[in-house]
Structure 1
Amino acid sequence: MTTTPHPLVAEAHRLADGLLAPSAQRVDQDVVPASHLAAVRRSGLLGVSAPVESGGAGAPDAVAREVAEILAGACLSTWFVQTQHHTPVRLLGRAAPGLPARERLLRPLAGGELLAGIAYAHVRSHPRVPVRATAERGGVRFDGTVPWYTGWGLNDLMLLAGVTGADEVVFAFADAREQPGLRPSPPMRLAALTAARTVSLALDGLWVPEESVVLRTPREEFARVDVPRSTNTSPAVFGVAYAALDLLASAPDERGAADSLRARVDEVRERAYALADHPVPHEHVAERLALRTRAYDLLRSATTAAVVAGGGRATSLDHPAQRLAREAMFLLIQGQTTPVREAHLEALAAG
């Protein structure tokens, strides 16, 4: 029996097959085009997890994961720019009705009128405090350095976080543009995803009004909530793995190898998503980490197999196998926290 896919899953396939995948090689060597992001904005995908009453789709997490897989497998650079957007949308969706930032921003973010990035991963570097937040003039002043900010020049807003002297994390929205108190570095040249325009941000007295603040939470509470989020396997890992296996299977002699690897990826994917949907997010952390590590192993196997099958041609910059292998390398450290890194290194050392 077959079921009709969710409309946003069908839309993701249409966008991936008709626009993203055909231009992925060119984008990888250049920059995510504004036309790609315009298509994403029009598609409704940016509101996949937003409340219906705010103009979103209110889709289940399973739908959001499948959409992410499809986009990541088609063009990881485009996926990486737009995936930043979903964290601010989810945060605003959970905020209390009447909060000024929610009332002002949730609907245009859910509808794609605005595209947001995130600048808060540095909060995980405790006890270091790369960005300090200080109350000032009816708002918040931010000082320090954001080491990584993706989508510079491509998105409209950023969700910025800093830590106060009382060890409280303050999340607030700011315009994603150079302005007094905010200076970007030149875009970084990276082994993968240079096209996503990642910069560092120097903050020297960037001031945002209180009505742009969306959340204040103790740093320990942020860390507690962040644990299951960072130990779950990213759907992008499966998206890139499946893209590599599709490439491998396109060679008739390699279909058996592709099918064998695909069955193993399917199994890990099913188990990882079951844990992601577990009603108690802080349980089974060790199993989540083990599955994330296993997913990395299979991602590496899938992309390596695509390179091996491609032979010498796979080293050409216009061949998708080398791009997928570099994207796999990037995903090894995307969203990496200390527990994730330690578990991965321990697994690698154990063989």
Structure 2
Amino acid sequence: MAMEMQKNSMYIEQNDPEGDIRKDFLDDDGRAKRTGTWVTASAHIITAVIGSGVLSLAWAIAQLGWVAGPAVLMAFSFITYYTSTLLSDCYRSPDPVTGKRNYTYMDVVRASLGGRSVQLCGLAQYGNLIGVTIGYTITASISMVAVKRSNCFHRHGHHVKCYTSNNPLMIIFACIQIVLSQIPNFHKLSWLSILAAVMSFAYSSIGIGLSIAKVIGDGPHATTLTGTTVGVDVSASEKVWRAFQAIGDVAFAYAFSTVLVEIQDTLKSSPPENKSMKRATAVGVTTTTLFYIMCGVMGYLAFGNDAPGNFLTGFGFYEPFWLVDFANACIAVHLIGAYQVNSRLM
């Protein structure tokens, strides 16, 4: 990268004394000119945040109840927004508007903390990357298997086992990622993030719609202010364990700080990147929170304290099979984009 920047500078000095090439094609540090806006950054954020975690929110609220469930969702949305605004001001240092650019999360840690903190944060960031990408691969394959099983049930009847292996579908998912990874500039993949964001809205909306239809058709299931009841639904130890697991699910559903700086590095320099990023964060987190609350609340109303871990599976593989198929296909397409956002930006 250093050699490339040096070649760019030499070319400009020899052929562009007026600085027109630098102005049109290069940033002030010799790198390719960034073209991102708060709109594309919002799409990246929504793609990174609204993942498969949204499907477990009905289960999480079922464990916490009507009081603690929405309160935890709102608390984590505020924490995510507040900490993201602080991190966005670290993109340039020492001044958040005119300072030197920090291209990655690790550059921010190096400039702000230094020392062993860089190694510890790097270990945490890449450990998180490994876990997230493995989870995306498995979840995408499960969604694709669900489509095949649904079609099999519809064609051959509900009594057929319709077993389908995940392995070939995981290989297909991996091959798609290898092809997309050959695109050298992540700025050229903004369309993929926008598509993935649309897919996340689509399958979340389908889940909300199916939940509303279930509530209208069957009536709301039993719900309580404190969620699952000790001695009826769970034991005391299970209640405590599931409550902490539900809080962890909500926290995981909001996590995107490890790629925030890399998303901000796609923004053009005018207006200042930190202002555009704060606007994009406000849009992304607000949109995400609205969908999270709707999915969690409507899913809890539809299934009550028996809400499944993936509320789309609660509607079965049967009817309306085509709508559930479409929702699972949207999950797979969204995870293709989310994989690229998380892996390419780190």
**TM-score (norm. length: structure 2):** 0.24
Larger helix share, 1 or 2: 2
Larger strand share, 1 or 2: 1
**TM-score (norm. length: structure 1):** 0.23
